[in-house]
Amino acid sequence: MAKIAFIVPRIGPNFSGGVWCIFEYARGLEYKGHDVYIVPALPSKEPRWFPYKFRNFISSTRKERFLRLVRSFSIFVLSFFRFLLNRDENKLQNFWTNFLIDFAFFEPVLMSFSFAYSISGKYISRIMPDVDYTIATQFTTARFVYYYGKGKKFYFMQHYEALFKNDFDDSKYVSAESSIGYLLPLTMIANSSWLKKKIQSIYSRKSIYLCNNAIDHDIFYGNAKKRDKKSNKITIISYGGRGVQWKGFIEMAKAMAIARDRLNDYCLRWHVYGTSNLPPDNKITPYEALGFLYPKQLANAYRNSDFLLSASWYESFPLFPIEAMACGIPIITTPFGTEDYAFHGDTAHIVKANDVESIAEGIITLCTNPDYANKLAINGLRKARQFTWKKSINNLESILFSHEDIENYTKAEYHNL
């Protein structure tokens, strides 16, 4: 059995679907007998929200960070007095740097992105385990896997992260660093066909593996929901999108307002889970806030809805549409990143991203054509059941253990850039 390390971003109270999926891969590989390490790029507590305790989660409690800070400060003070005696500037500077790092680690949430990123390399270099395979999972970890990773090195991409530069306090810095990650001589794995084609097109990386994520069918399940043709009460569910603009929540709100205006004979209830960038009583159109939902609660919310509405500008194998499909309800979604499971008129109704009129027409179509909605629910459920964690974990394991035939080609690509 192999030793495998996943290098993940700092784990906080808010988490993305990409991080959840990485944990599912790690759990599955542990079940198969491998020694799996979860290595956060900055000190983190082991997440309470994931229903599994990893054997090798490199965590850091607040008490541990405080004790390290006190120790670091004591060493710096001692070195300062030694400096007064022998003027050893190099040692003083080194101890001062270590103190600043430990001070920042004491409460990393207060750091700016550029500062956090600059010191995370120092932290990872300290704690990197000796393993057979090291896997970067975000652009903030790719460079450090290249520098400090042990054994064979991979980059399991969960999105085209250069698109998210405006979500950070230094967009130009993020844009440059994310691009560097796609150019490093790491074996590349994409979680969606869209992402694979995107990186191949922009960075001329031909040798990229595809490993689709999956969902837990013990939680997200159901029968294809059949709409009552006589009922004019329809419940639509959407993800709030963590308040980021590219999730298209404002476009969804505007489209819902249009649909409500045109469908005077219908009662459209809009349920939204998670946080969004509009309050429930916003001026565009109101919605009912469900708040944060744990997986079982979310599955019930899907099953109690008539269809899901998503309007992201771009995604890379998003979980919420396929979760809804697995719970038996039809979905409206945009095409970018959902192409592995969402096919227009068959398993989903595809609308144009950032196009309010297209989204509104999609809502109206599913509301007024129950036969079409029922067809999408049946086909969507069938398609969603194909994406199991057993299949995805076996796929990743196969990639890790059989990638040698393209490893040299990957390095040749890098040197020819």
Q: What is the pLDDT of residues 81-119, one digit of tens each?
A: 555 556 555 655 666 666 666 665 656 566 677 777 877
Rounded Cα–Cα distance for residues 153 and 360 (Å): 45
Rounded Cα–Cα distance for residues 168 and 364 (Å): 36
- Span 215-253, pLDDT tens digits: 999 999 999 999 887 789 999 999 998 888 999 999 999
| CA-to-CA dists, residue 102 to 43, 56, 58, 59, 96, angstroms | 10, 22, 17, 15, 10
CB 72 within 8 A of CB 99: yes
pLDDT computed for residue 44 by the predictor: 78
| H/E segment holding residue 323 | helix 319-326
Sign of the CA dihedral with 316 first, then 321, 326, and 330 last: negative
Three-state SS for 306? coil
pLDDT grade, residue 414 (50/70/90)? very low
| Average pLDDT of the residues in 262-274 | 96
Is pTM beyond 0.85 here?
yes
CB 111 within 8 A of CB 104: yes
| Average pLDDT of the residues in 357-378 | 97
pLDDT at 317 over 90: yes
Q: Considering the chain, what percentage of its residues have pLDDT values greater than 70? A: 83
Q: What mean pLDDT is reported for the chain? A: 87
pLDDT computed for residue 268 by the predictor: 97
Rounded Cα–Cα distance for residues 211 and 13 (Å): 27
